[in-house]
Copies of this chain bind each other. A is one copy, B any other.
């Protein structure tokens, strides 16, 4: 198995990516890793000699975090993101991981790697934290802001297959994000999607309200990309805000600092549970090959986790499963 990594994307690139890649090469000697990056920038980080199962694929350009995605993908055909997506398309790599510009990765995934037949829209599917630590796969969180019922149906199917095969959920409970739990609630989109999803051969638990997500009421949550993106950023914003304010309370005076010292291990564990970097990267589902978005702030450990996930994504051959099921759906 050969996995390609974008050394040039992410807040801590190239250092964290290179280090994570070196660790992954050591951890899984049966696997080949290909680092796409600017030769001079990563050569010194890599050291010498390179592990046998790690090669460098030099690129001369890369897409910055603030570039307009579609334009950047069209113009920078030699960039790490475009090259990585092309390697997956041409089966020169079994999977590609990038912590770079999310929009550009989604655009290159669609335009370069290509959509699976039977899937109209790819979906970006990160894990959200839940209080029981298991997490919930949410899709779509923004690969496509607008959706029709049939797209949500495809998301439900892809999410269930990925959660079962890669995340290890047994018969994952799939929920539809809605503004009430009763059937018939919501918009034309959610009503239409409910009718389609309930006929799928998956464990559909019906409508789920956003207040119950953290409680872990489902393992896979389906929604349109606009709502999913709002949800993702809101969860992040509220958690960050509360932790920041908590930190203030803990450093108020000598007594609260004492309290902080007592609580430190428990709070650290908790903050870690709430941190979805810990849960690996977000797959871009519905493409012809595995493409994984690692979190922008990925550190070495997060890169290692993303490689572990991409590895399982390939091993379990989720792409074939999605392709088979979605075509059956289409014929259905």
Contact = CB atoms under 8 A, between A and B. Distances in A.
Interface string A172-204: 000001010000001110100000000000000
A302 B239 CA distance: 26
A209 interface: yes
A258 interface: yes
A213 interface: yes
A34 to B, nearest CB: 31
Given A259-B258, A259-B259, A131 B230 contact: no
A245 B215 contact: no
B263 A256 contact: yes
Contacts of A256: 262-263, 266
A210 interface: yes
A51 interface: no
B226 A210 contact: no
A241 B259 contact: no
Interface stretch (A247-255, A292-300, A306-314): A247-255
Contacts of A231: 210, 230-231, 234
Nearest to A261: B259
Nearest to A144: B187
Interface string A220-260: 00000111011101111111111011100110100110111
B215 A233 contact: no
Contacts of A235: 234, 238
A270 interface: yes
Contacts of A146: 187-188
Nearest to A184: B68
A214 interface: yes
A262 to B, nearest CB: 4
B210 A233 contact: yes
A190 to B, nearest CB: 8
Interface in A129-145: 131, 142, 145
Contact of A145 (B186, B233, B250): B186
Given A145-B186, A252-B266, A234 B237 contact: no
Contacts of A71: none
A230 B262 contact: no
B249 A270 contact: yes
A179 B240 CA distance: 18
Interface in A67-85: none
A45 interface: no
A211 interface: yes
A239 B239 CA distance: 7
Contact of A131 (B229, B245, B267, B274): B245
A186 B236 CA distance: 19
Interface of A: 131, 142, 145-146, 177, 179, 186-188, 190, 209-215, 225-227, 229-231, 233-242, 244-246, 249-250, 252, 255-256, 258-260, 262-263, 266-267, 270, 274
